[in-house]
């Protein structure tokens, strides 16, 4: 007898690309504390710690310029980040070949419930509630690396209601994109559709309902996101 689905599979989560196609999403990896000045502002010594990772879910990403403020938090922060889209999978990828696995780049916001994260840190619990909540990653379209090349420097900024809050440069990443891919692929099988959010520069801070967030990475892209009340 032919195997039947118990229920019809849901839609595949996708981001759009600058050339008008859809990029189907698989796993979403995020790097913590990858800019020295942000590590310092969060009370950590950036020189002592190797990178560590957490995940969001493909369904957490949205690209329609809207961020519904989650009801379970009263201290949601913006974190502007370079998004790396993997187009070629692999295991134990070398630093030298890592960029061959990148399909493109974009701009993302790793929205964070700072109150829930502080509680999790205090209790030694995972960050899931603080990081992987619904709608927690507003994203731009993905621009192919054939257009952007592989940016190693360029301003990364976030404005709230027209006021600059975060400023950094991609050349300040502690662990560069090739190193992040190599490290991730030692522990995980990377595959097309995987996304990596590479960490945020300093200046993180709270958002409020009604705010407009303008995120931009020189040479990669930009997006505008409106913070709205959760429905
Ligand atoms: Mn982050």
CA of 96 to the centre of ligand 1 (A): 25
Q: Is residue 123 part of a domain?
A: yes
Q: Is 90 exceeded by the pLDDT of residue 231? A: no
Q: Transcribe 124-152 into DSSP letters.
A: T--SHHHHSSTT-EEB--BEEHHHH---S
pLDDT for the residue 45: 82
pLDDT in tens, 80-120: 999 999 999 999 999 999 999 999 999 999 999 999 999 99
Domain count, the chain: 1
Q: Is residue 224 part of a domain?
A: yes
Q: Is residue 2 part of a domain?
A: no
Q: Is residue 7 part of a domain?
A: no
Burial (0-12, 13-18, 19+ Cβ within 10 Å), 188: middle
Over residues 66-90, the mean pLDDT reads 98
CA of 166 to the centre of ligand 1 (A): 13
Q: Is residue 206 part of a domain?
A: yes
pLDDT in tens, 26-38: 999 999 989 988 8
CATH number assigned to the domain comprising residue 114: 3.90.850.10
Q: Is residue 3 part of a domain?
A: no
CA of 199 to the centre of ligand 1 (A): 5
Whole-prediction pTM value? 0.96
pLDDT in tens, 129-172: 999 999 999 999 999 999 999 999 999 999 999 999 999 999 99
CA of 5 to the centre of ligand 1 (A): 37
Provide the domain limits for residue 149. Answer: 14-229
């Amino acid at each position: 007898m032919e195997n039947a689905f118990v229920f019809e599979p849901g839609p595949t989560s996708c981001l759009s690309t600058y050339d008008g196609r859809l990029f189907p999403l698989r796993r979403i990896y995020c790097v913590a504390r990858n800019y020295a000045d942000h590590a310092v502002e969060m009370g950590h010594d950036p020189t002592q710690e190797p990178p560590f990772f957490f995940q969001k879910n493909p369904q957490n990403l949205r690209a329609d310029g809207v961020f519904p403020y989650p009801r379970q938090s009263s201290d949601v922060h913006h974190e502007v980040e370079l998004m790396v889209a993997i187009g070629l999978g692999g295991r134990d990828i070398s630093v030298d070949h890592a960029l061959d696995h990148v399909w493109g780049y974009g701009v993302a916001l790793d929205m964070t419930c700072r109150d829930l994260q502080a509680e999790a840190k205090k209790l030694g619990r995972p960050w899931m509630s603080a990081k992987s909540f619904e709608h927690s990653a507003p994203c731009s379209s993905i621009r192919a690396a054939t257009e952007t090349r592989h940016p190693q420097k360029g301003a990364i900024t976030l404005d709230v209601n027209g006021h600059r809050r975060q400023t950094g440069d991609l050349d300040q990443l502690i662990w560069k994109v090739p190193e992040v891919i190599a490290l991730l692929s030692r522990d995980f099988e990377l595959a097309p559709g995987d996304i990596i959010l590479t960490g945020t520069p300093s200046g993180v801070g709270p958002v409020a309902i009604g705010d407009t967030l303008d995120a931009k990475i020189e040479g990669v892209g930009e997006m505008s996101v409106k913070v709205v009340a959760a429905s």
